[in-house]
Amino acid sequence: MNIRTKLLLGIGLLAAMIILLVALSVVNLQILTATDPDSPAAMPGLDRALLWISVTGIISVFISVFLLIWLPHTIEKPIKELTNGIMEIANHNYDKRLNMQDKAEFREVADNFNRMAERLKKYRENTLTDILSGKKFIEAIVNSIHEPIIGLNRDREILFINKEALNVLNLKKEEALHQSAEELSLKNDLLRRLIRELISSDAKKEPLKIYADNKESYFQASYIPIVGTDIAPDEPRALGDLILLQNITEFKELDSAKTTFISTISHELKTPIAAILMSLQLLEDKRIGMLNEEQEQLSSSIKESADRLLGIASELLNMTQVEAGKLNLIPKITKPIELIEYAIKANQVQADKFGIQIEVEYPEEKIPKLFVDSEKIAWVLTNLLSNAIRYSKENARVIIGAQQDADGIELYVQDFGRGIDPRYHQSIFDRYFRVPGTKVQGSGLGLSISKDFIEAHGGTLSVESELGRGSRFIIRLKA
Ligand code: ADP
């Protein structure tokens, strides 16, 4: 029976009872008006009529109470069932089905609900299979990569870690998987360093030296943030991080072989170059014999080239020292003016050749002494002054000087030459880098070695330069 029939039946029954009640009341009234209410003949009729009215009244009240309870219940029950069904689906129970075949109004709703639940179940089974097979693929890829990989979720718990990573971290899979990497790192130095580098963007990311596979190996770590844009494409959400360790031992070994090779070659080159220079000196000695003009020109050009070769050999040798970590500083107390004078002396010929005027700024009484490897700092100043001369126009002026500042001593070399584009202010300190379009000959090594030398002293080397206005290279050292 559907709700409509139930409603009609209930209301019909109630209406019939009310009509009966009214009819009985009318009959009763007629009896009362037709006879003398006090006459004995009227009494039985009246009593019967009253009895019927009471019985009908009570039945009507019962029917009304029954309808009042039963009718809302018949409507409420299927709605409750539907609500429960929706809740089950919301809780991912896609097996929930509704059976309302006896409730005509809800039959269609229940059928649609069941159809939706069926589709959701199939969809979930499919996506689950997809996700599981995707996971298997990723696991296979991760495990087949011979570089250590660690995957962290956004709470920095280890989601996956391959055999190589377990090996270098000296961990077992069961003690690492699903554990907080930060907690694990308290007992694991290597993991601590990786997490520190992952968290702080300014941590120095130098290759890691790890004892793995019974030998010393070098690894370069890279940190890849994983972001999701599936929910809101404009608002990427951090999902976690991937830590990759690339085994660079082979490159390190090759690099060190290259360093040894360059070091040997440049060292071996120095002796024959010195011999050439010595022979040239003898050749120029008037006591041995006079050279004609052409021969003099040739000998000066040989000297220039030999000097350049010697410079390059010494730069390469210095570079190999830095790269091999063999930079042996022999510090001693030095007056900054001595370093400046050395640099000027070493560059004077070159400066005279181009008509460059070297000016010295040196407030004698205000400059304290330095405790540095004077040879290395003098080499840097010589190199900076040589650059200032080489990158200036003829007959320009160049300033070399020193001053005291709050933290120590500043040694500087300033020129008024071509200047350096701000784009290259960082790169000029990289090995072999030369500003594109530089015509003056050079190796691109001087500034990078200079920076290494100064940093080895705990100081800094920086540049202030503007295109077309010149450059100022500043060495800052602690007094
Ligand atoms: P090199 O001078 O041998 O090429 P450096 O390492 O000394 O190597 O310098 C790197 C580059 O920086 C140079 O090639 C040049 O382009 C630029 N540079 C260095 N010093 C100056 C300067 N004083 N003025 C303009 N450019 C400079």
349 and 304, same domain (yes or no): no
Mean pLDDT, range 77-101, rounded to an integer: 87
Q: Are residues 393 and 368 in the same domain?
A: yes
Coil/strand/helix, residue 247: strand
| Residue 435 in contact with ligand 1 by CB distance below 6 A | yes
DSSP structure class, residue 207: P
Instruction: Mark whether 413 and 437 lie in a shared domain.
Output: yes
Strand partners, 153: 240
Pick the residue whose CA is nearest to atom 21 on ligand 1: 387
CA distance linking residue 35 with residue 26, whole number of Å: 14
pLDDT, tens digit, 9 for 90 and up, residues 269-281: 999 999 999 999 9
Containing domain of residue 447, as a range? 332-477
Residues 111 and 181 in one domain: no
Q: How confident is the model at residue 405 (pLDDT cuts 50, 70, 90)?
A: confident
Query: Does the beta carbon of 388 sit less than 6 angstroms from any atom of ligand 1?
Result: yes
pLDDT of residue 420: 96
Point out the ligand 1 atom lying closest to the alpha carbon of residue 429: 6
Judgement on whether residues 381 and 444 belong to the same structural domain of the protein: yes
Distance from the Cα of residue 41 to its chain's centroid: 108
Task: Name, in order, each residue with C-beta under 8 angstroms of 188's C-beta and a sequence gap of 6 or more.
Answer: 169, 170, 171
Residues 93 and 155 reside in one and the same domain: no
3-state secondary structure of 475: strand
Which tokens in the block code for residue 262? 């360059």
Residue 246 has pLDDT above 80, yes or no: yes
22 or 427: which leads in pLDDT: 427
Q: End-to-end alpha-carbon separation of the chain, Å?
A: 103
Band of pLDDT at residue 388, cut at 50, 70 and 90: very high
Looking at the structure, tell me whether residues 118 and 173 fall in a common domain.
no
**pLDDT higher than 70, residue 39:** no
Whether residue 37 is predicted with pLDDT greater than 70 in this model: the reply is no
Q: Is 424 in the pocket of ligand 1 (CB under 6 A)?
A: no
pLDDT tens, position by position, 10-30: 788 888 888 888 887 887 777
The answer to whether residues 448 and 336 belong to one domain is yes
Atom of ligand 1 nearest to the CA of 433: 10
- The residue nearest atom 7 of ligand 1, judged by CA position, is 446
**Shared-domain flag, residues 292 and 406:** no
Q: Which atom of ligand 1 is nearest to the CA of 447?
A: 6
The answer to whether 444 and 431 are in contact (CB under 8 A) is: yes
For residue 155, give the CATH number of its domain: 3.30.450.20
CATH number of the domain enclosing 415: 3.30.565.10
pLDDT confidence tier of residue 304, bands split at 50, 70 and 90? confident
Last residue of a domain, one of 287, 305, 323: 323
Top mean-pLDDT range of 170-174, 183-187, 340-344: 340-344
* Best residue among 428, 429, 448 to mutate for probing ligand 1, ranked by most atoms within 8 Å of CB: 428
Nearest 5°: the CA angle 348, 352, 353 is 115
Question: Mean pLDDT, to the nearest integer, of 43-58?
Answer: 79
* Ligand 1 binding pocket includes 161 (Cβ within 6 Å): no
Claim to verify: residue 166 and residue 235 sit in the same structural domain: yes
pLDDT, average across residues 233-245: 86
Atom 2 of ligand 1, nearest CA residue: 442
Residues in Cβ contact with 422 at an 8 Å cutoff, skipping those fewer than 6 apart: 465
**Of 102 and 371, more confident:** 371
Please tell me whether residues 10 and 49 are part of one structural domain: yes
> What does the pLDDT read at residue 41?
66
Residue 370 CB partners (closer than 8 Å, separation 6+) = 333, 334, 335, 336, 339, 377, 409, 477, 479
298 CA → ligand 1 middle, Å: 28
Dihedral of CA atoms 68, 71, 77, 78 in degrees, nearest 10, equals -160
Per-residue model confidence (pLDDT) at position 1 = 66
Look at the chain and report how many structural domains it folds into: 4
Residue 161: what pLDDT?
92
What's the mean pLDDT in 114-140?
A: 88
Give the end of a domain, one of 192, 215, 247: 247
The residue from 268, 292, 323 where one domain ends is 323
- Positive or negative, the CA dihedral 197, 203, 206, 210 is negative
Distance CA 202, CA 384 (A): 29
- Ligand 1 centroid to Cα of residue 6, in Å, is 99
Q: 425 and 359 in one domain?
A: yes
Q: What is the Cα–Cα distance from 451 to 453, expressed in whole angstroms?
A: 5
